[in-house]
Amino acid sequence: MSALIYVGTSIPSFYHEARLEPEHQVRRQWTREWWDLAMERDRLVTSAAVIAVFRLSPEPKRSDGLALLAPLQLLAMPVEVDDMTGAYIAHKVMPRDATGDARHLAVATFHRCDILVTWNCRHIANVNKQTHIRSINAALGFPTPALVTPLELLET
């Protein structure tokens, strides 16, 4: 059965990673391996918030990221997403940037994605924050998507 997976900003970034340090190269490899599998078996989606980040990126990251994301459906961002974003910030679940991590979590949650995949292990795919995130989402009446890295999805 395919999963509905929200693709965060860091995924196309690492897919096209050019830094040569081993930790960046291994994340690039895992991202590419996961992407190839996911494109065959899952339904990948993203949002205009992710596209906006890449429109501000320098070349060639801008073009490469936008090309990778082009086949993905863009999820709508109705006013409820704004409300959820504000709730995450107010409850200190996410940083104060309403266009960043809080917005990505809100879009994925509102649309009831099964998974939000990201390399953002500080604010999103962070096991230490997941109980807090789940409690806020429960209060809002929503289940929480699995918040994971591509590596975790390769191992399932």
pTM score of the predicted model: 0.95
Contact call for residues 3 and 116 (beta carbons, < 8 A): no
Determine how many CB atoms are found less than 10 A away from the CB of residue 108.
31
List the chain domain ranges: 4-154
Instruction: Fill in the DSSP letter of residue 71.
Output: T
Q: What does DSSP say about strands 146-148 and 43-47: parallel, antiparallel, or unpaired?
A: unpaired
Residues in Cβ contact with 35 at an 8 Å cutoff, skipping those fewer than 6 apart: 11, 15, 68, 150
Regions in the chain scoring below 70 on pLDDT: 1, 98-99, 155-156
> What is the strand order of the sheet 115-117 is part of?
73-75, 43-47, 4-7, 115-117, 146-148
Amino acid identity, position 111? H
Q: Which overall architecture, per CATH, does domain 4-154 show? A: 3-Layer(aba) Sandwich (3.40)
Provide the pLDDT for residue 14: 96
Contact call for residues 112 and 142 (beta carbons, < 8 A): yes
Provide the pLDDT for residue 79: 96
